[in-house]
Amino acid sequence: METAERKNLLLNDHHVRKALLDILRISTRPDAFFSDVIQKELRARKDLSSKRRRIIADASYGLIRADRKVKYLIDVAAAEAGIQHLMLPADDYLLARYFFVLIVNDEVHPYEVATSNVPETVARLALSMGDPAARIKAIGEPTRRLAMDVSVPDWLAEQICADFGSEEAGLLLRGMNTRAPLTIRANTLKTTPAKLVETLRQEDVEASPSSLTPWGLHFEKRINIRGLHAFRRGLFETQDEGSQLIALIARPEKNSRVMDLCAGAGGKTLALAAMMENTGTILAADLSGRRLKRMIPRLQRAGAQNVTVHFPDKPIPKQWKRNTDVVLVDAPCSGSGTLRRTPEKRNTMSLDDVMRLTHIQGEILDEATRWTREGGHIIYATCSLFSAENDAVVEAFLQRHENFQQVPLSEHIDPELARAIGDGNVLRVTPHRHNTDGFYAAVLQRR
């Protein structure tokens, strides 16, 4: 789509504007999950063209990613224009938020907003905005300035700065405000990555190999994946490359016994089944029976036959006790590593949540020891950026369990890959360094 056409739709198209304002309005509800809101609103508008749908989806995520920054800039502009912010009509305020995001992202100029079909107060706010970068730079305290610039709560920026250092934290948090790639994992039970590329090309879809895993492919464009014949045949699953890496470092052997203790809807379970070539046994467990039910049709579509789905209403069979080669603990966590895909999480998670989760993570790791055989491995993984949920949980576990040791990643998988996806000791991938979601993993072995 040409830039001029896109700008015209963003500025002047009634359908685009109304859809975006409705999405903003609904997303303020406490129980609203932003991705679901977007999909529901787009489904309800059956007459929208594909161009308008793409613009609405892109702009909606842009609104959430820049929400705190935009609200701050509106406050500054309102003070300068002599407008009482709290007296603004609700729709005018929503409209201002929408147009300020476009200005911040250099999609439109303030003058273009002021001269388009907008209420007079919105036009005055746009003309009073000034230089957004200079407004943010005027914030004196460095961490708060960063938090405002990348639209995250102060505590989150403080935590990332403490864990990564200020310079790296800035790069990381800005990376979290970029668009995530559309990545899939070729299902090697049915095809190979190279064959899948050709199969997709027959459906006019271009895909290129990912750089970190042998099964990953990136789609060149956003498409309706579920509409593809290759998807319905079970030739691939959508899965971030960082998530694929968790399965890779689990390194299950053929005919082994593997337990996925927090399997959820089965993304990593499916990858493990393919790695084991449908041999051995995988027990997929989770405290949520509802999530496990979602795994069953995925297993059937993928042709995975070595997985037993274990629902939480019954105890895990005794024959698994101290008899499991690999126990994967993909622990419940803050999800701070997934802010590119779920930008609304920045406004719902809290430091108290993180601290509460660390206790749960420790308890699940303790549970994993019941099932791990001598010489077997626990893979502890999260999609969190916070050291409190990652290294600190592992360190506390090792203090409680002297019969376990941490195995450096470079001794468990190819050393060159281990250094590419972390420090050689643990897996630690991030959007700005690896173009993945943020993931952490450590290898723990029973002596």
CATH classification of the domain holding 189: 3.30.70.1170
**pLDDT confidence of residue 127:** 94
Does the residue 170 lie in any domain?
A: no
Token digits for 108?
A: 């439109």
- Judge residue 224's burial from the number of C-beta atoms within 10 Å of its C-beta, 0-12 exposed, 13-18 middle, 19 or more buried: exposed
Question: Is 192 a domain residue?
Answer: yes
| C-beta contacts of 191-197 below 8 A and 24+ residues apart | 191/235, 191/236, 193/217, 196/230, 196/235, 196/236
State the residue for tokens 């789609």. 219
pLDDT in the model for residue 151: 96
Look at residues 133, 162, 191 and tell me which one is the last residue of a structural domain.
162
Given this model, what pLDDT does residue 24 score? 82
Q: How far apart are CA 309 and CA 331, in angstroms?
A: 18
Same domain for 220 and 286, yes or no, is no
Q: Are residues 113 and 210 in the same domain?
A: no
Q: Report which residue type is found at 23.
A: I
> Could you tell me if 56 and 101 lie in one domain?
yes
pLDDT for res 30: 61
**Residue after which a domain boundary falls, among 162, 197, 216:** 162
- What was the pLDDT predicted at 29? 67
Q: Is 8 helix (H, G, I), strand (E, B) or coil?
A: helix
User: Is residue 222 one of the residues assigned to a domain?
Assistant: yes
Q: Are residues 423 and 281 in the same domain?
A: yes
Question: Among 298, 233, 289, which residue's Cα sits nearest to residue 271?
Answer: 298
Residue 289 lies in a domain: yes
CB 299 within 8 A of CB 352: no
Whether residues 282 and 153 fall in one domain: no
The answer on 227 and 252 residing in a single domain is: no
- Which residue type sits at 183? T
The predicted structure's pLDDT at residue 31: 60
Q: Token pair of 110, please?
A: 């303030």
For residue 116, tell me if it sits in a domain.
yes
Q: Which domain holds residue 59?
A: 3-162
Per-residue b or e along 324-343, where b marks 16 or more CB atoms closer than 10 Å to that residue's CB:
bbbbbbbbbbbbbbbbbbbb
The phi, psi pair for 374, rounded to 5°, reads -65, 130
Clarify whether residues 146 and 8 are in a common domain. yes
What integer pLDDT is reported at residue 280 of this predicted model?
98
Residues 94 and 154 in one domain: yes
Assess whether 261 and 320 both reside in one domain: yes
pLDDT at 21 (0 to 100)? 85
Q: What are phi and psi of 177, to 5 degrees?
A: -95, 10
Position 176 in a domain: no
CATH number at residue 381: 3.40.50.150
Same structural domain, 305 and 410? yes
- The predicted pLDDT at position 126 comes to 94
Q: Do you know the residue count of the chain?
A: 447
CB-based contacts of 441, cutoff 8 Å, min separation 6 = 245, 246, 249, 379, 380, 381, 382, 409, 426, 427
196/300 same-domain check:
no
Q: Examine residue 187 and state whether it is found in any structural domain, yes or no.
A: yes
Total structural domains in the chain?
3
Residue 74 lies in a domain: yes
Choose the final residue of a domain: 106, 130, 162. 162
**Does 156 lie in the same domain as 262?**
no
What is the spatial distance between Cα 177 and Cα 446, in angstroms, rounded to a whole number?
A: 40
Q: Do 234 and 226 touch, CB atoms closer than 8 A?
A: no
Positions in the chain short of pLDDT 50: none
